[in-house]
Amino acid sequence: MIKHLTYVTAIILFLSIAVSVSSAGTTQNVYSEDFTSGEYCDIENTTASWDSLRGEIKLPPYEISLIGGYSTPDASWGIEIEGDSAYVADGFGGVLLYNISDPTDLVYEGYYETEGEVHGVDIGENRIFVAAGEMGWDIINKKFIFASPYSGDKPERNIQDSSSIPQASAFDFINPERHILSSGDIQSFTFDIQKARDSLIVVASWDSVKVIKFKSIMSSNVPTLIDGKDTPGGAIDFDIVGNRIFISNHTAGLEIIDFDDCIDVIGSLEIPGYSYGFDIEGDYLYLANDEAGMRVIDISDEESPHIVATFDTPGYAVNVHVSGNYAYLSDWEEGVRVVDISDPTVPVLAGSSPLETTPEGALNWPWDVKITGNYALAANHSGGIKVLQVTPDYTMDFYHTQSLTVNATEEVVATVKLNTVQEGSVDWEISADGGDSWQNINPDNKWHNLVYPGNRLIWRSTHSYPGGMTTSPCSFLNIEWDSQVPALLANSPEVLLKGSAIQVEWSVSRISDEMKFIVYRGLYPDGNFQKISVVDAQDRLKYRFIDDRCEDGETYYYSVYASEDDKEIFLFDTKPITIPPAVLSLHQNRPNPFNPLTTIGYNLSVKSHVALDIYDVSGRLIKKLVDEVKEKGPHEIIWDGKDSEGHTVGSGVYFYTLKAENGKKTRKMVLLK
């Protein structure tokens, strides 16, 4: 029986397969994850994906967490960000101002109340431009922002009670009525406004788009209608790019007009359903299209815009904001959706915000989203302003991942075998009981018995984070599991130090004619164990292996397997054991091979001047790592694969030499790229 866990669009982006094979009365299963696609995949049908840009496994959903916010007096419709300030269009609550220098701790700074319902804002150098619904539009001088410090205890998650925001007095705003022009110029409901060039503004007033010139006189702004164009389906959003105005018509799709001559329609595209907000990035326009989700429209040919992809969402897509390779969708009733648009023709779900149901309000009704650094600010309509962390925190030393349930059957998982393609340091753990208990498993393609068998197999990994923008990567994971538990090990094994040698002892409960015991050795617990001995089973149950090829000052780890019927079954791992250091010891670098970082350890029996140098195979000095007096005891240093000039060296074999007052040691290492 073959079970597929795949996500397929125009090409296969991701592959996850579980295969069941009957053998000797038990069931062996194979599960694989190929992380090399660099795409995020369907949350419900995959367990993880590989982010090739950052070099790490990414789990669905993409790392989105609700970390705070503010309640607002009315319905939040939009957000504009300028530096450390966020201006919120809050319906009948007016324009609200927040300090977002620390997005995790928003600070309310002031407000401006209008007589209309604020749906959109745009920010100029000294002015705030307001789309005020049925009251037309307004221009606010920033100095008119009414400031009132918040007093009182700040509730949990930084949610502020709207009752703490003061009400405006009559002189705190310029009367918006003077900006309605005349009933023939602007019909009811201004949804969007943008500052353009040469003291011009553009407003979307439902049935038309108007270009208006304003002139400041004293405390007033005198408007003059310059041009405009009636729109066929209700202008709800627009954007100005160069000499073009792109318009989203609510019931008629996309229209592209000339800025200098609004009558001149450059191109148009009829779109089914209801069109809402959009964003433009390069040659593509990303449009929120209600129940259809997000439409990706190629606008490279303005005369013939055309849809190249559609990304469906569970709710009603009402707005889009693009930042980098991601589109952030305001999905009415379903929160914020993040879509990977690194290939605009194949948009793929990157993750979703949580649907918040806590007392401080739900993140279910976003109308607008804007990005600031690693955070998203969502205008959550009746839920106020919400703050989401939308990218991982790269200040950590390790990156952790965890899968969804791997096995889809009810059978008990008793033994597992891992095989990976990875670099650097990655620790793997397996749980067969859904995460209640975990067991470290080396990805050595050998069978390991689980201490706690179960029927809910999941994995998790810990990737070292040496710095820069990459973690230790893994591009492929293969897991096999079996329901049979080979009860071979009779008691706890022992590992003993015998002078400069190490002795490993174990006992088994049974033997067979073809049984062999295979001994593996490693210099650290999480990778690259090497087979060092094969011990034939004899007519006895107790066995001993002595490793006399040990080096002074080195620490060793051992794994022992029983080989029977061409199947290697894990018996045990030993605890680490260290050979006492001699007068001077130089350890094997780890990892080895490496790329780009490796750690070199050495031990000094006395305080000494130390020189630790890197050479290539021709004997040319590459870099001096250490040239100073060091104290007695163990030391470590990291080499980043660069020479003394700061240039990255090429792949190959290198030698590192330790010189001290009481001796000299040399070892070999391999850099692979």
Residues 483, 497 contacting (CB under 8 angstroms): no
Q: Are strands 501-507 and 494-498 parallel, antiparallel or unpaired?
A: antiparallel
Query: Most confidently modeled of 99-108, 258-267, 269-278, 415-424?
Result: 269-278
User: Residue 386 pLDDT > 70, yes or no?
Assistant: yes
Q: Is the pLDDT of residue 23 over 60?
A: no
How many angstroms separate the first and last alpha carbons of the chain? 39
48-55: long-range contacts, CB 8 A cutoff, minimum separation 24: 48/401, 48/403, 49/14, 50/473, 50/474, 50/475, 53/325, 54/392, 54/469, 54/470, 54/471, 55/469, 55/470, 55/471, 55/473
Instruction: Please state which of the ranges 17-31, 56-70, 521-535 shows the lowest mean pLDDT.
Output: 17-31
Mean pLDDT is highest, among 4-18, 168-182, 249-263, for 249-263
CA dist., res. 556 & res. 523, Å (int): 5
Query: How many C-beta neighbours within 10 Å does residue 631 have?
Result: 9
pLDDT value at residue 280:
96
The residue behind tokens 């997005």 is 103
Of 594, 586, 585, 612, which is closest to residue 653 (Cα–Cα)?
A: 594
* pLDDT computed for residue 409 by the predictor: 60
Residue 374 clears pLDDT 60, i.e. is over it: yes
Cα–Cα distance measured from residue 8 to residue 340, given in angstroms and rounded to the nearest whole number: 15
Assign 588 to helix, strand or coil: coil
Same-fold call for 2-63+395-482 versus 584-671: no
Average pLDDT, the chain: 77
Mapping DSSP to helix (H, G, I), strand (E, B) and coil, where does residue 164 land?
Answer: helix
- Report the run of H or E that residue 344 belongs to, with start and end: none
SS3 call for 177 = helix
What average pLDDT does this structure show over 571-586? 83
Residue 172 token pair: 């705190």
Q: Which of 36-45, 82-91, 517-526 has the lowest mean pLDDT?
A: 36-45
Tell which wins on pLDDT, 129 or 225: 129
Answer for the pair 154, 160: CB distance below 8 angstroms, yes or no. yes
Res. 44: pLDDT tops 70: no
Least confidently predicted of 122-126, 170-174, 333-337, 341-345: 170-174
pLDDT of residue 395: 41
Contact, 224 vs 186, CB < 8 A?
A: no
Structure tokens at 294: 């997000």
What pLDDT does 490 receive?
A: 75
Per-residue pLDDT at 659: 92
Please state the rounded mean pLDDT for residues 584-594.
88
Q: What is the pLDDT of residues 455-511, one digit of tens each?
A: 888 888 877 655 544 557 777 788 888 876 555 777 778 999 887 899 999 988 888
What 3-state class would DSSP assign to 144?
helix
429 or 141, which is more confident? 429
Query: Where residue 350 falls among pLDDT bands split at 50, 70, 90?
Result: confident
Tell me how long the chain is.
673
Tell me the CATH class for 2-63+395-482.
mainly beta
Distance CA(384)–CA(69), nearest Å, equals 7
Q: What is the homologous superfamily of the domain 494-578 according to CATH?
A: Immunoglobulins (2.60.40.10)
Once rounded to an integer, what is the mean pLDDT over residues 344-370? 75
The pLDDT, as a whole number, for residue 356 is 62
CA-closest candidate to residue 327, choices 303, 346, 305, 299: 346
Torsion of CA 651, 653, 659, 663, to 10 degrees: 160
- Does residue 344 have a cis bond before it (omega within 30 degrees)? no
What is the domain partition of the chain in residue ranges? 2-63+395-482, 494-578, 584-671
Whether the CB-CB separation of 77 and 114 falls below 8 Å is answered with no
How confident is the model at residue 426, as a pLDDT?
Answer: 82
Question: Residue 631, Cα to own-chain centre: how many angstroms?
Answer: 42
- Counting residues of the chain whose pLDDT is more than 70, the rounded percentage is 76
**Mean predicted confidence (pLDDT) in 600-617:** 91
Q: So what's the pLDDT on residue 214?
A: 65
Region 132-161: what's the mean pLDDT? Answer: 54
Percent of the chain with pLDDT over 90: 27
pLDDT of residue 404: 65
Give whole-number Cα distances, 136 to 42, 192, 230, 241, in Å.
43, 10, 16, 24
Using one digit for the tens of pLDDT, what is the confidence trace for 200-217?
778 877 777 877 776 655
pLDDT reported for residue 81 = 93
CA-wise closest residue to 393 among 644, 64, 33, 70: 64
The answer, yes or no, to whether residue 390 has pLDDT greater than 80, is no
One-letter identity of residue 397: D
Q: What pLDDT score does 636 carry? A: 93
Q: Which fold has domain 584-671?
A: Immunoglobulin-like (2.60.40)
Res. 513: pLDDT tops 80:
no
How would residue 558 be classed by pLDDT, with cut points 50, 70 and 90? very high
Give the model's pLDDT for residue 200. 77
Report whether pLDDT(179) > 50.
no
Q: Is the peptide bond before 305 cis (omega within 30 degrees of 0)?
A: no
Judged against a pLDDT cut of 90, whether residue 590 lies above it is answered with no
Note the pLDDT tens digit of each residue in 281-316.
999 999 999 999 999 999 999 999 999 999 998 889
Distance between CA atoms of residues 567 and 561, nearest Å: 10
Give the number of other Cβ atoms within 10 Å of residue 364's Cβ. Answer: 21
Alpha helices in 464-552 (DSSP H): none
**Neighbouring residues of 620: CB distance < 8 A, sequence distance ≥ 6:** none
In this predicted structure, what is the pLDDT of residue 347? 85
Least confident of 140-149, 153-162, 207-216, 380-389: 153-162
Name the more confident of 239 and 30. Answer: 239
**What is the rounded CA–CA span in Å between residue 612 and residue 529?**
27
pTM: 0.52
Span of 210-219, 498-507, 514-523, 619-628 with lowest mean pLDDT: 210-219
The pLDDT of residue 42 is: 36
Rounded alpha-carbon distances, angstroms, from residue 395 to 11, 77, 398, 464, 614: 35, 34, 9, 12, 30
pLDDT number for residue 45: 38
Is the pLDDT score of 170 beyond 70?
A: no
Residue 152 confidence (pLDDT): 33
Residue 109 has pLDDT above 90, yes or no: no
Q: Would you say residue 220 has pLDDT above 60?
A: no
| pLDDT tens digit sequence for 247-272 | 999 999 999 999 888 888 999 999 99
